[in-house]
């Protein structure tokens, strides 16, 4: 349903025009004002200021800025209310309900047109700039976008430093006024990083006001445009957009007609509403694919963690220099640590088949890993040629015999031109050898040199790779790429991303215990994360005596992450030999669903804890997960989300009484109970701990025999 009305105004410059818009439920009020030729906006939740009066516009290169001297030509309002079903997701159906205001502006000094489209939902605001076809403004270069987000106070922020090349930082929790002073310690080493020269943070940014309002700032539908950071005026609590530059320092190359990405403000008095918001997805276009039958959620294991920990290597041999097509690997001595060999991969395939996993990721299968990193090397991989100990055909056929596919790995080492050079052949190679999913990587500085991971050129590349993959019916899980902005709605084969500090950092010194209580409020607002959970051995030195890293978690919390860290692509990241020691706990990883009909947030506080309940798509089974920070806490939930006429068996995987993420991380309990919609649970959570619950409908009375009621 779409209702349209248009109000026309005479173009009289330098007077103030004020237009108001309310959300469908009336809770939010938005105000646009053209104040002496300067476009501004405000956002209220009830009587509370979410965004104080903030300016809008652009600085352009070698042209007059689009910041002032505007007249208002017209205002068009509309209402939209429909529902759509994602190919995969956290809800079976998503409602898209908003009131819209389209403001058409003309700059009197240049006669250039700029429109701003605002959409106000029941949980927040989205807006973007639109440049229509016009003689006065066709090709132009953005020097900086000047969108402001003026905060109403010194809010608490959950933030990572602004950086053009990485999001792989631990989160810092502080007041806005404290951010500049904490920036130096927040910027920790990374393989490729370019921190902002001014105080700034990355989106999605989570905030909490002193009076308990939760605010999230992000962007949606990032296409043909650089990634946005938020530059901070810490004295006045004002954020201003800061775009990622290219090698020349330019921020964006535009050709009208063209739209920018949406800028989003999600707000609520309830933290769980931030986690359940669909604004980011709703501001993206519907799927571009008519046939999506080949896109399916995947649970996988991988030849990966043993390399991450240093137990094994990606490289086949130990030489300082490789020239693809010239280096004869068959004549070189193997180093004895190469993990991606036929024998070992068959063992992983066997484990996957035994436990019902669909795919096995194998990293380090292709030639070139001996000198892949830090050399600024263009022709670093060909994505086609295996090492001598990796038999592509034999493993393809062995996997088929076991009902297991291999998952492809394409590490580019930042050499993007090289990847695009081989991309068609690489995807065809996947088709020919029964691969339908690829994990791509962009570790290191980008080639062409001077470009950044989050600049316009790379944003275009990431989407180019996804579209190319779709032509071969390949699903993409991109690591080190730009953080997602809901594009998985439009391109549902973009089934996963990393784009944040994931589990691998647990083997690089460890993540903070509160890390997974923040990520769903920040990074996951834009889309699912391939966090690679499931680590059961926290002492990394057990795999590599030279690595003293410690995984800051209990086993029970590792299980919870399969529910709290949403992804249709979930990895059981630890080694099969370790899972075989804890098969009772491993059962949850086998049972937990990947795709959902319904998602609820039972408890949530950013930086402290999150408890989700999710209903498996197409069944009556539910799964609950709770992730906890470094403090011992009591979780209190009820089961009123269950069907009233059904009885279920709840298997609770919890921290033991003496569990602790440092002192006793492997202490857990597995207990079964009979539950109904009247059941309640008070569950202690250890420091760095949590719990997971599978709630399976009881179809046979004998299955309930001997089970206590909860």
Q: How many residues does the chain have?
A: 710
Q: How far apart are CA 350 and CA 683, in angstroms?
A: 36
**Alpha-carbon distances, residue 72 vs 6, 148, 179, 594 (angstroms):** 13, 20, 38, 49
Structure tokens at 252: 């964006």
Q: How far apart are CA 335 and CA 320, in angstroms?
A: 13
Residue pair 362/345 in contact (Cβ under 8 Å)? The answer is yes
**Alpha-carbon distances, residue 320 vs 369, 449, 576, 588 (angstroms):** 10, 23, 32, 44
Residue 499, phi-psi category: left (phi > 0), alpha (psi -120 to 50), beta (remainder) = left
Do strands 668-675 and 708-709 pair parallel, antiparallel, or not at all (unpaired)? parallel
Residue of 240, 370, 498, 504 marked active site: 504
Known catalytic residue: 504?
A: yes
Is the bond preceding residue 204 a cis peptide, omega within 30 degrees?
yes
Q: How far apart are CA 424 and CA 471, in angstroms?
A: 10
Burial level of 306, CB count in 10 A (0-12/13-18/19+)?
Answer: buried
Q: How far apart are CA 87 and CA 292, in angstroms?
A: 7
Structure tokens at 154: 């010194």
Closest CA to 305 of 576, 108, 62: 576
C-alpha torsion angle, residues 191, 193, 199, 200 (rounded to 10):
-100
**E strand intervals along 505-606:** 569-572, 596-605
φ and ψ at residue 92, rounded to 5 degrees? -65, -40
Q: Tokens 């604004």 sit at which residue?
A: 279
Burial 232-265 (b: 16+ CB within 10 A, else e): bbbeebbbbbbbbbbeeebbbbbebebbbbbbbb
Residue pair 129/116 in contact (Cβ under 8 Å)? The answer is yes
φ and ψ at residue 194, rounded to 5 degrees? -145, 80
**Using alpha carbons only, how large is the chain's radius of gyration in Å?**
26
Q: How far apart are CA 49 and CA 237, in angstroms?
A: 13
Q: How far apart are CA 571 and CA 566, in angstroms?
A: 12
C-alpha torsion angle, residues 39, 44, 49, 51 (rounded to 10):
-40
Q: What is the 3-state secondary structure (H, E, C) of 135-184?
A: CCCCEEEEEEECCEEECCCCCEEEECECECCCCCCCCEEEEHHHHHHHHH
Q: Which residues are catalytic?
A: 504
């Amino acid at each position: 349903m779409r209702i349209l009305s248009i109000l026309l105004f005479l173009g009289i410059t330098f007077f103030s025009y004020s237009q108001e818009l309310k959300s469908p439920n009336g809770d939010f009020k938005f105000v646009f004002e053209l104040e002496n030729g300067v476009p501004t906006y405000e956002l209220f939740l009830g009587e509370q200021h979410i965004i104080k009066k903030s300016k809008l516009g652009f600085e352009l290169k070698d042209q007059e800025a689009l910041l002032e001297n505007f007249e208002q030509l017209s205002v068009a309002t509309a209402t939209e209310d429909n529902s759509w079903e994602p190919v995969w997701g956290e809800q079976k159906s998503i409602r898209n309900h908003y009131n819209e205001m389209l403001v058409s502006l003309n700059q009197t000094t240049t006669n250039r047109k700029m429109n701003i489209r605002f959409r106000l939902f029941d949980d927040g605001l989205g807006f973007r700039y639109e440049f229509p076809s016009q003689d006065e403004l066709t090709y132009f270069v953005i020097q900086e976008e000047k969108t402001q987000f003026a905060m109403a106070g010194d809010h608490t922020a959950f933030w990572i430093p602004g950086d053009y090349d990485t999001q792989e930082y631990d989160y810092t929790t502080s007041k806005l006024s404290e951010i500049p002073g904490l920036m130096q310690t927040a910027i920790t080493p990374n393989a490729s990083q370019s921190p902002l020269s001014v105080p700034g943070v990355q989106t999605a940014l989570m905030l909490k006001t002193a009076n308990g309002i939760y605010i999230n700032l992000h962007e949606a539908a990032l296409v043909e445009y650089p990634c946005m950071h938020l530059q901070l005026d810490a004295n006045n609590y004002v954020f201003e957009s800061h775009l990622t530059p290219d090698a020349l320092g330019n921020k964006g190359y535009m050709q009208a007609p063209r739209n920018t990405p949406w800028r989003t403000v999600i707000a609520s008095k309830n933290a769980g509403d931030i986690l359940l918001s669909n604004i980011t997805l709703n501001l993206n276009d519907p799927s571009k694919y008519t046939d999506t039958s080949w896109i399916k959620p995947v649970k996988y294991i991988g030849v990966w963690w043993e390399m991450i920990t240093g137990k094994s290597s990606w490289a086949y041999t130990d030489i300082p220099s490789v020239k693809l097509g010239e280096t004869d690997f068959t004549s070189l001595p193997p180093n004895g640590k190469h993990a991606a060999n036929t024998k070992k991969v068959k063992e992983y395939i066997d484990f996957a088949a035994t436990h019902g996993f669909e795919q096995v990721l194998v990293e380090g299968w292709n030639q070139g890993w001996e000198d892949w990193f830090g050399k600024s090397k263009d022709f670093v991989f060909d994505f086609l040629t295996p090492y001598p100990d990796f038999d592509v055909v034999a493993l393809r056929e062995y996997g088929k015999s076991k009902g297991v596919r291999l998952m492809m790995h394409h590490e580019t080492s930042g050499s993007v031109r090289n990847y695009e050079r081989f991309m068609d052949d690489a995807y065809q190679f996947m088709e020919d050898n029964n691969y339908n999913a690829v994990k791509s990587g962009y570790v290191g500085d980008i080639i062409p040199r001077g470009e950044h991971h989050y600049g316009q050129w790379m944003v275009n590349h990431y989407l180019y790779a996804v579209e190319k993959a779709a032509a071969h019916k390949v699903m993409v899980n991109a690591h080190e790429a730009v953080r997602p902005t809901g594009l998985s709605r439009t391109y549902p084969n973009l089934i996963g991303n990393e784009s944040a500090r994931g589990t691998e950092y647990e083997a690089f010194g460890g993540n903070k215990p509160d890390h997974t209580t923040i990520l769903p409020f920040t990074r996951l607002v834009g889309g699912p994360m391939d966090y690679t959970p499931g680590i059961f051995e926290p002492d990394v030195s057990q795999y590599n005596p030279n690595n003293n890293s410690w995984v800051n978690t209990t086993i029970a919390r590792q299980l919870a992450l399969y529910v709290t860290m949403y992804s249709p692509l979930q990895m059981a990241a630890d080694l099969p030999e370790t899972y075989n020691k804890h098969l009772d706990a491993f059962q949850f990883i086998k049972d937990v669903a990947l795709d959902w009909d319904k998602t609820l947030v039972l408890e949530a506080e950013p930086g402290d804890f999150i408890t989700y309940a999710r209903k498996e798509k197409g069944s009556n089974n539910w799964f609950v997960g709770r992730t906890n920070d470094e403090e011992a806490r009591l979780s209190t939930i009820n089961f009123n989300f269950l069907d009233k006429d059904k009885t279920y068996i709840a298997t609770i995987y919890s921290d033991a009484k003496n569990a602790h993420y440092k002192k006793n991380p492997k202490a857990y309990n597995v207990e079964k109970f009979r539950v109904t919609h009247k059941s309640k649970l008070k569950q202690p959570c250890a420091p760095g701990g949590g719990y997971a619950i599978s709630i399976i409908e009881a179809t046979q009375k004998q299955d309930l025999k001997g089970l206590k009621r909860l």
